[in-house]
Copies of this chain bind each other. A is one copy, B any other.
Amino acid sequence: MGEALCFIFALLNDKFSVANSAILLIHCPDQAGLVALVTEFVHKNRGNILNLDQHVDHHLRHFFMRIEWDMTDFLIPQEKINDYFSTLIGAAHQMKWTLQFTERKPRMALFVSKASHCLYDILQRYGTGEFDCEIPLIVSNHEQLRYIAERFEIPFHYLPITRETKAAQESKTIALLEEQDVDFVVLARYMQILSDDFCRHFAHRVINIHHSFLPAFKGARPYHSAFNRGVKLIGATSHYVTADLDEGPIIAQDVERVSHRHGIEDLKRIGKDVEKRVLSRAIYLQLQHRILPFGNRTVIFN
């Protein structure tokens, strides 16, 4: 291939991108004509549809949709879209929706304790641009991983927790998150249970990684339980945190084969790999606004 051709190929090759696009995640009771309604709204106002995906849950007779359009020539001003959409379509069809613009980089906070594997994996992806976001802070109840935060030059907040200080620490944490305008929180092997209040406050905005293929082995020490049960697969699950421990809507899961040869330490070692990729997959989906939680399930548009 000649130099010139290589160059052209590289150009084409670049991820297709527009300066700013709008992403609408919608759900509502199913009825005829919804797709046409929404696409017409976008099209008539000169929004070029870049992606459209929809799903109907025929059991629940419920409709889900993700639509992304180029904002370049869109007639409705960005800050008024919610209002117009509500008036013209949303309210009449009992829709619930969120609207995001890709020009705004999502702001993600990381909560960690002592295990470094997920943190490193996330920061490496952040460092190379795979995760296109801001990470304004890392919160931890231990000091052990401060050095990693420093390596990546991210502010590290040490907020230790005892039974007595838990409430106060959470208040401080919430204040930090709001001060930093954080969009969502990732618990990267954070070994503390969040209060119900915190969970409600940040509903669908806190992603956890649990080191088992839920609903198997909820709670503490899942690798020990997996070993004792003699399973031939171990897994990991990323999910939104709710007040019910390890019961929130699942975003991603994966497994790896194990055998009798693997002791508990081996399960932990192998499991770390699964945890890393399952958590990072969830973060990637979140950053792309591809997750629509509904009840205890998620619709993943990908």
Contact = CB atoms under 8 A, between A and B. Distances in A.
A240 B216 CA distance: 19
B230 A15 contact: no
Contacts of A231: 213-215, 250, 253
A130 interface: yes
A39 interface: yes
Contacts of A57: 260, 263
Interface residues of A, number: 75
A166 interface: no
A13 interface: yes
A259 B300 contact: yes
B298 A230 contact: yes
Contacts of A299: 260
Nearest to A117: B124
A233 interface: yes
Q: Give the 10 A-B residue pairs with the shortest CB-CB distance, closest first.
A: A230-B297, A16-B58, A36-B43, A216-B216, A32-B48, A120-B124, A232-B253, A36-B39, A260-B299, A151-B151
Given A117-B124, A214-B216, A277-B277, 5 more contacts: A15-B263, A53-B54, A116-B124, A229-B296, A255-B255
